[in-house]
Amino acid sequence: MKINRPFNQLTLSEYVPIIENHKQYSDFNTLGLYRSLLENQNLTLQEKQEIRDFAHQYFQKTFEFLQLKDPQTYFEISTLGEQLTKGDELNLWRIIRENQQDILKKKQIKHRNFGTYSKHDCGYDHCPYNGLMIRQGTPLAEFSVCFDSDKNQDEKKQKSQRLKREKRDWKRNRPSN
């Protein structure tokens, strides 16, 4: 069975049976469900919050994984209808980064190419690479998941080059007896 309609065109009374019977629909998409709450013009803020809370009963684990897959959507859905100060916003993003780190550690995932982080997005509308799938660590990977505890891969190489340069300069500039 298929839904045959975009989520962002549904009403509250249509969302509930679809969520309850989500396993029967071959085209059901959890990420699409949560994104539609942000895009749906047919719903009031209170209805969006009701649907979000109802969907959490079925998809809480999937919603938590959105922190890694699509953190912007996770943030917007989590704060739906709330007035946040800049400090609250920064604190929530800090918590999301910590949770991303925990999820990667718990699931023993070594790479960080997930969802929005696996595609090029430099912020320029005219960029020909926008939406292109990229490999982590390449120059096209503008934004990737990074944590404060990450080590700089080039640090040892840069230190070695600096020490060689200093040694060469010292030998050149030392006073000859």
The 10s digit of each residue's pLDDT in 45-104 is 999 999 999 999 999 999 998 888 888 889 999 999 889 999 999 999 899 888 888 888
The answer on 76 and 20 residing in a single domain is yes
Rounded-to-integer distance, Cα 129 and Cα 107, Å: 30
Give the count of domains, the chain: 2
The answer on 94 and 37 residing in a single domain is yes
Q: Which residues contact 73 (CB under 8 A, 6 or more apart)?
A: 31, 34, 35, 38, 66
The answer on 93 and 67 residing in a single domain is yes
The answer on 104 and 20 residing in a single domain is yes
The 10s digit of each residue's pLDDT in 14-29 is 888 889 988 888 888 8
Residues β-bridged to residue 119 = 133
The answer on 117 and 85 residing in a single domain is no
177 belongs to a structural domain: no
Look up the domain containing 116 and give its range. Answer: 111-172
- What would the two tokens of residue 33 be? 């469900």
